[in-house]
Structure 1
Amino acid sequence: MDYKRFDDTILVRMDRGEEILEQVKAVALKEQVTLASVQALGAINDFTVGVYNVAEKKYYANDFKGSFEIVSLTGTIDTMNDGFYCHLHLSAGNERGQVFGGHLNRAVVSATCEMVIRLIDGKIDRKYDDETGLNLFYFA
């Protein structure tokens, strides 16, 4: 991975074999990012995405292996209990144009991942919500 910061924007290049969430965390901690929006594209070959069932308060994971293009990777970097927190969603398409996606649990880069992290001036923490079972934005 390599990256460069331009004022309120960080451009990241992730390389073959790197796991996307690990690299996002590494950049965010090194650059002391506490609030940002994230978007990316690239190619992956092994990923897990989840779909949340609100009634059950449970994620269902789906694993995929093969050649996939990232159609969309979007989300936020923020904090929970003043520590790093990241919430990303991924859509990825295969060679037939079929797209699969959901909450990103893990994704391994097969060629490259080009990411833009747009820093937001401020801080938003997260707090567990009993009703939904999710860690939601908390505006103190």
Structure 2
Amino acid sequence: MKYIKDGKSYIVRIDRGEEVLDKLNEFVKETDIKAATISGIGACSEVELGVYSVKKRKYIKYKYDGEFEILSLNGNITRDGEEPYIHLHIMISDGVVLAGGLTFGMGITVGGHLNKCIISGTCEIRIDECENAYQRKIDDETGIKILDI
């Protein structure tokens, strides 16, 4: 991972073989960012997504292995007590569909809460720092750690 500061933003590159959440946690500890928004694109090979079931009050996990483009990586950095809390959602695809039909891959496009993502090529991320710090709290009704605002 490498990063540079650009005003109140950072440009982050996560490299082949690195795991996104591990590297972003490392980045947050090095920069001491308290709150920020995250957006990115890239390519990955191993992904674990979660879809939250409010009824079951837990994440249902899905694992994907293959060659995927990261179509969208969005989320935020907040705090859970003193610890950083990185909340990301991702959309990945293994194929390109044109008007004439599938041209590459199986045509699978999936998205959800990001639990794990191993980069296969590169991942390019912009992180925009917020002026204030924001905490998380458990919502008793859903069991989700929501923003405490």
TM-score, with length taken from structure 1: 0.96
1:58, distance to aligned residue in structure 2 (A): 1.2
Count the aligned residue pairs: 139
1:91, distance to aligned residue in structure 2 (A): 0.4
1:55, distance to aligned residue in structure 2 (A): 1.0
Pair 1:135-2:145 in alignment: yes
SS in 2 for 1:18: coil
1:98, distance to aligned residue in structure 2 (A): 2.2
Q: Which residue is equivalent to 2:100?
A: none
SS in 1 for 2:91: strand
Q: Which runs of 5+ in 1 are unaligned?
A: none
C-alpha root-mean-square deviation of aligned residues, in Å?
Answer: 0.8
Within-5 A mapping of 1:43-62: 43-62=43-62
Deviation sequence 1:15-69 (CA, Å, 0-9, x none): 1000000011111111111100000100000010010010110110000000000
* Whole-angstrom distance in 2 between the partners of 1:78 and 1:65: 29
- Give the percent of matched residue pairs that are identical in Structure 1 and Structure 2: 35
Within-5 A mapping of 1:1-140: 1-95=1-95, 96=105, 97-139=107-149
- Between 1:92-101 and 1:115-124, the stretch displaced more is 92-101
* Whole-angstrom distance in 2 between the partners of 1:127 and 1:49: 22
TM-score, with length taken from structure 2: 0.91
Flag the structure with larger Rg: 2
1:82, distance to aligned residue in structure 2 (A): 2.3
